[in-house]
């Protein structure tokens, strides 16, 4: 997948994700159960956090630094979750656009797009949005009795 295709997929997936999350009634945004123990609000922040993280990673790649392995542990997940729960819905969403723009700009600034960048960008943007969009959508359908 080339740079333009990556950027297009990110834009389309974000639009779809945003449409689903904005369709969640305000009184349901903090209700846990989208995935065990997580609400729509939690998943929105989770996506915003990781798109900012991929922006950092792509900026490091652009400077020639090797991409370190991200720790994938329960303590980090709990820290991210707690951080998001300190924010309002609006605060979490306000961070989305600047984080997305940084990630898109960092990808665009790469002279060549190595496979590492493709995997990082796809995994933390459109693949991630699509995964959680589907979960949030299914949660809304369960609420409606479908």
Span 87-130, pLDDT tens digits:
999 999 999 999 999 999 999 999 999 999 999 999 999 999 99
Domains annotated for the chain, with CATH where assigned, are 3-143 (1.20.120.450)
Instruction: Give this prediction's pTM.
Output: 0.91
**pLDDT score of 69:** 63
What angle is formed at CA 80 by the lines to CA 78 and CA 86, rounded to 5 degrees? 105
For residue 100, give the nearest of 12, 35, 2 by alpha carbon.
12
Q: Which residue has the tokens 């605060």?
A: 91
């Amino acid at each position: 997948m080339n740079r333009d295709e990556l950027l297009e997929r990110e834009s389309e997936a974000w639009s779809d994700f945003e449409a689903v999350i904005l369709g969640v009634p305000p009184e349901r945004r903090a209700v846990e159960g989208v995935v065990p123990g997580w609400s729509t609000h939690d998943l929105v922040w989770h996506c915003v956090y990781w798109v900012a993280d991929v922006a950092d990673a792509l900026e490091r790649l652009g400077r020639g630094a090797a991409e370190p392995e991200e720790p994938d542990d329960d303590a980090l997940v709990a820290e991210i979750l707690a951080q998001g729960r300190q924010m309002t819905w609006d605060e979490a969403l306000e961070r989305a656009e600047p984080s997305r723009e940084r990630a898109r700009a960092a990808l665009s600034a790469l002279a060549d797009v190595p496979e590492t960048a493709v995997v990082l960008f796809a995994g933390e943007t459109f693949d991630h949005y699509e995964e959680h969009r589907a979960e949030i959508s299914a949660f809304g359908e369960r609420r409606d009795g479908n």
